[in-house]
Amino acid sequence: MIATQQEKSLSFRIIEKFKETFNTDPMVIRSPGRVNLIGEHTDYNNGFVMPAAINKAIYMAVSRRDDDLIHIVSQDLELSYLGDIAKVEPTSLHWPDYILGVVQQVQALGHPVGGFNCVFGGDIPLGAGMSSSAALECATAFSLNELFGLKMDPLTMVKLSQKAENEFVGVKCGIMDQFASMFGRRNHVIRLDCQSLEYEYVPFNTDGIRIVLLDTNVKHSLASSEYNTRRQQCEAGVALIRAHHPEVRSLRDATLEMLDKHVAPADALVYQRCQYVVEENLRLLAAGEDLKKGDIEAFGQKMFATHEGLSRKYAVSCPELDFLVEQVKGRPGVIGARMMGGGFGGCTINLVREAVIDELVAELTPAYARAMNKELKVYIGQIENGTSLI
Ligand code: GLA
């Protein structure tokens, strides 16, 4: 892998800090954040997603210790944690939990984990919906695998990272973020079936088009009750259908007709939520075909449709996200845009022709500040490889 200047300087900083703290040379792992082109709130409904790993990552330097202690340093927070490998439990600090949760899951699989030192940091903006937590979990799983020669395969590491987030951190996320962080491939998106976990790399070689992330600067809180409420609403819809179609196990198996017949008359809100999910799965399948045909314009239109669904039917958007999508809609050079991730803040993902990016940012930044009284942050996403040793 050819490291960029940014990557070199980030990993250099981490290594320096590690040597200064622990007086020894570490092994260094890079684990990226992710974007998701289409397929939102579908992963925990056993549906499809289309994420990719990006050029923003966590860098983790690690080495084994002779005792049973875990010593973790967060370079960005300038905080450290010291604990015992035999007593891994959630902390009041919260940030070590992403690492400790993975340690616990690795132990639960019966793998021997000894004491270790760890320094981590990176450039994934926190709370911007690029999955810094999944990146940190995957970095930890990968590090432990290497340090202790555990021979876990990547999918095992993905699953235990998700479990750590579900059970230790307490966020009931789906599998998309960890999968994308671990399995990412440069210049490809991953078309993942969250039911079978079969996946396909689809080339994303869109000459002259860039992924532009517009950060609302509104901190989303995934742990917020809304995410879990959506999950429950989807489950409620499935239960209503199952009364008539016992073979339906998730919204993946549901059709729009089933929703019309069995959910609409019973619960209008649950119907809306489920309708969005079923439509989004269909949209993703069609969008995958667009990409294969090279019809990026059609793909972009589906992104706008996804936003509409997320905002109106699934109700996980916010005024700032809606504003940013409205502002770019119909603008020459903007191919598609929508809110990305769990919602209630974070970023919009935009496919934009290179030639118009500067002008777009120059106009949008003051417009956003005027309308929302917040600073707009802009990131240009590049699709990179998943978690690896550097
Ligand atoms: C968050 C979760 C993912 C997924 C998205 C919504 O990023 O961590 O598992 O559910 O929200 O698509």
pLDDT tens across 296-336, in order? 999 999 999 999 999 999 999 999 999 999 999 999 999 99
Biggest alpha carbon distance in the chain?
67
What's the CA gap between 142 and 132, in Å, rounded? Answer: 15
Q: How far apart are the CA of 176 and the centre of ligand 1, in A? A: 6
Burial 278-301 (b: 16+ CB within 10 A, else e): bbbbebbeebbebbeeeebebbbb
Residues 267-285 have a mean pLDDT of: 98
Give the angle 286-346-60 at the CA atoms, nearest 5°.
100
pLDDT, one tens digit per residue, over 36-73 is 999 999 999 999 999 999 999 999 999 999 999 999 99
Tens digit of each residue's pLDDT (9 = 90 or more) over 92-151 = 999 999 999 999 999 999 999 999 999 999 999 988 899 999 999 999 999 999 999 999
| Marked catalytic residue, from 43, 97, 123, 177 | 177
For tokens 């940190």, name the residue: 136
Chain centroid offset of residue 7 CA? 20
- Amino acid identity, position 50: M
What integer pLDDT is reported at residue 223 of this predicted model? Answer: 47
Q: Quote the tokens at residue 158.
A: 């993905």
Ordered DSSP codes for 128-184: SSS-HHHHHHHHHHHHHHHHTT----HHHHHHHHHHIIIIII-----SHHHHHHHH-
Distance CA 236, CA 247 (A): 15
Q: Is the CB of 47 under 6 A from ligand 1?
A: no
Query: From the CB of 174, is ligand 1 less than 6 Å away?
Result: yes
Q: How far is the CA of 357 from the centre of ligand 1 (A)?
A: 27
Q: How far is CA 279 from CA 12, 48, 163, 193, 284, in A?
A: 46, 11, 28, 15, 9
**Is the Cβ atom of 44 under 6 angstroms away from ligand 1?**
yes
Of 163, 173, 197, 222, which is best to mutate to test ligand 1, by the most ligand atoms within 8 angstroms of its C-beta? 173
Return the pLDDT at 207. 86
6-20: per-residue pLDDT in tens?
A: 888 999 999 999 999
Predicted pLDDT of residue 206: 80
Distance between CA atoms of 267 and 200, rounded to whole angstroms? 36
Judge if the beta carbon of residue 346 lies within 6 A of ligand 1.
Answer: no
Residue closest via CA to ligand 1's atom 11 equals 342
* Mean pLDDT of all residues belonging to the chain: 96
Q: Is 177 assigned a catalytic role?
A: yes
Task: Confirm if 42 and 35 have CB atoms less than 8 A apart.
Answer: no
* Angstrom distance (rounded) from CA 60 to CA 27: 8
pLDDT at 2 over 70: no
Q: What pLDDT digit, counting tens, does each position of 196-215 carry?
A: 999 999 999 788 999 999 99
Distance CA 212, CA 300 (A): 13
66 CA → ligand 1 middle, Å: 38
Q: Which of 35, 36, 37, 41 most suits a substitution to test ligand 1, by most atoms within 8 Å of the C-beta?
A: 41
Task: Report all structural domains of the chain as residue ranges with CATH numbers, in order of start.
Answer: 5-205 (3.30.230.10), 209-381 (3.30.70.890)
At residue 56, the pLDDT reads 97
Query: For the chain, what percent of residues have pLDDT higher than 90?
Result: 92
| 378 strand-pairing partners | 214
Asked if pLDDT for residue 171 goes beyond 90, the answer is: no
DSSP strand pairing (116-122 vs 69-74) = parallel
Cα–Cα distance for residue pair 287/53, rounded to 1 Å: 19
Taking the centre of ligand 1 as the mean of its atom positions, its distance from the CA of residue 164, in whole angstroms, is 15
Structural Rg of the chain based on CA atoms = 21
